[in-house]
Amino acid sequence: MAEYSALSFEPLTPVSYLDRAAAAHGDRTAVVDGERRFTYAELHARCRRLAGALAPLADGRPVAVLAPNTHVLLEANFGVPWAGVPLVAVNTRLSPGEVAYILQHSNAAVLVHDPLFDGLVDTVFTEMAHPPLRIRADGEYEGLIADAPRLAITPADERGLLSINYTSGTTGRPKGVMYHHRGAYLQALAMVGHTGLTPSAVHLWTLPMFHCNGWCFPWAVTAAAATHVCLSRMEPTEVWRLIREEGVTHLNGAPTVLSMLAYAAEAGPVSPPVRVATGGAPPSPAILRRMGELGFDVTHLYGLTETFGPAMLCDWRPEWNGLDAGEQARLKARQGVGNMISCRARVIADDGTDVPADGTSVGQIALRGNNVMLGYLDESGGIDAEATAEAVPDGWFRTGDLGVVHPDGYVELRDRSKDVIISGGENIASVEVEQAIMDHPAVLEVAVIAVPDEKWGEVPAAFVTLQAGATATEAEIIEHVQGRLARFKAPKTVTFGELPKTSTGKIQKFVLRDEAWKGSASRIR
Q: How many residues does the chain have?
A: 525
pLDDT tens, position by position, 232-246: 999 999 999 999 999
On the question of pLDDT at 170 being above 50, the answer is no
The whole-angstrom separation of Cα 210 and Cα 212 is: 6
pLDDT tens, position by position, 416-467: 666 778 887 787 878 778 878 988 989 888 889 899 888 888 899 999 989 8
pLDDT at 502: 61
- The amino acid at 484: R
pLDDT tens, position by position, 351-376: 999 999 999 898 999 999 999 999 99
pLDDT tens, position by position, 111-138: 999 999 999 999 999 999 999 999 999 9
On the question of pLDDT at 403 being above 60, the answer is yes
The whole-angstrom separation of Cα 409 and Cα 417 is: 22
For 483-508, b/e burial (b = at least 16 CB within 10 A) is ebbbebbbbeebeeeebbeeeeeebe
* Cα atoms in the 13 Å half-sphere on the side-chain side of 148: 25
The pLDDT > 90 percentage for the chain reads 71
From residue 323, alpha-carbon distances to 253, 274, 334, 412, 475 in Å are 26, 22, 16, 19, 48
For 242-257, what is the HEC assignment? HHHHCCCCEEEECHHH
pLDDT at 343: 96
pLDDT at 434: 85
- The amino acid at 222: T
Computed on alpha carbons and rounded to an integer, the radius of gyration of the chain in Å comes to 23
The whole-angstrom separation of Cα 455 and Cα 424 is: 8
Domains of the chain by start residue, with CATH: 16-146+161-401 (3.40.50.12780), 420-516 (3.30.300.30)
pLDDT tens, position by position, 84-104: 999 999 999 999 999 999 999
pLDDT at 413: 83
pLDDT at 516: 87
Q: Which residue has the higher pLDDT, 48 or 414?
A: 48
Mean pLDDT value across residues 260-287: 87
pLDDT at 416: 67
Partner residues linked to 448 by β-bridges: 462
Mean pLDDT value across residues 18-32: 98
Say whether 514 sits in a helix, a strand or coil: helix
Q: What end-to-end distance do the CA atoms of the chain give, in Å?
A: 56
By C-alpha distance, which of 432, 477, 467, 518 is closest to 168?
A: 432
pLDDT at 517: 86
Q: What is the DSSP string of 274-330?
A: EEEEEESSPPPHHHHHHHHHHTEEEEEEEEEGGGTEEEEE----GGGTTS-HHHHHH
Q: Are 271 and 295 in contact (CB under 8 A)?
A: yes
pLDDT band at 2, cuts 50/70/90?
A: low
By C-alpha distance, which of 319, 385, 383, 372 is closest to 346?
A: 372
On the question of pLDDT at 525 being above 90, the answer is no
pLDDT tens, position by position, 474-507: 999 999 999 989 999 999 999 999 888 765 556 7
Mean pLDDT value across residues 152-175: 86
Pick from 39-48, 296-305, 432-441: least confident = 432-441
Q: Are 487 and 98 in contact (CB under 8 A)?
A: no
Can you list the alpha helix ranges (DSSP code H) found in 59-108? 71-82, 96-106
Q: What is the DSSP string of 345-405?
A: PEEE-TTSPBPPSSS---EEEEE-STTS-S-BBPTTSSB-HHHHHHH-SSSSEEEEEEEEE
On the question of pLDDT at 172 being above 80, the answer is no
- Burial tier of 284 (Cβ tally within 10 Å: 0-12, 13-18, 19+): middle
pTM of the model: 0.85
Average pLDDT, the chain: 92
